[in-house]
Amino acid sequence: GAGVSQSPSNKVTEKGKDVELRCDPISGHTALYWYRQSLGQGLEFLIYFQGNSAPDKSGLPSDRFSAERTGGSVSTLTIQRTQQEDSAVYLCASSVRQEYGYTFGSGTRLTVV
C-alpha cells in the first residue's frame, strides 16, 4: 500500500481481556517495528522484525506481549490479560534500510478500562 496501515485506530477493552493490533506495512519494506507511546512520553521500542523473524524483541515489557509477522508483510501485536498500564498509543513503522528512516502508521490508541 501507499502507507503503513494500522487497525483498529481506537480500541477500548476491559481489564483482563486480550487484544490484537494489526499493522500492514508498505509493500517491499522488509523491516517492521512496533513502538509504544504513553501520554507525555517518548517512543518506547517493543519489537523489530526483519522479514518474518524478530532479531530484537527486547522491548516487550512482559510475557503478556507477543507479536508475529507472516509472509514478510502483516504483523499482529497481541496483548493478553490487558492491564490499565497497557493504555497507550501503539505505533507501527516499516523501512527498507535503517539509514532511510522509518515510515510510521497513525497508530492504535488502546484504552484499558
Partner 1 sequence: AQSVTQPDIHITVSEGASLELRCNYSYGATPYLFWYVQSPGQGLQLLLKYFSGDTLVQGIKGFEAEFKRSQSSFNLRKPSVHWSDAAEYFCAVGANSGYALNFGKGTSLLVTP
* Residue ranges binding partner 1 (CB under 8 A): 4, 31, 33, 35, 41-43, 45, 48, 50, 55-56, 59, 91, 93, 97-107
47 versus 81: smaller Cβ distance to partner 1: 47
SS (H, E, C) 7-58: ECCEEEECCCCCEEEEEECCCCCCEEEEEEECCCCCEEEEEEEECCEEEECC
70 versus 97: smaller Cβ distance to partner 1: 97
19 versus 32: smaller Cβ distance to partner 1: 32
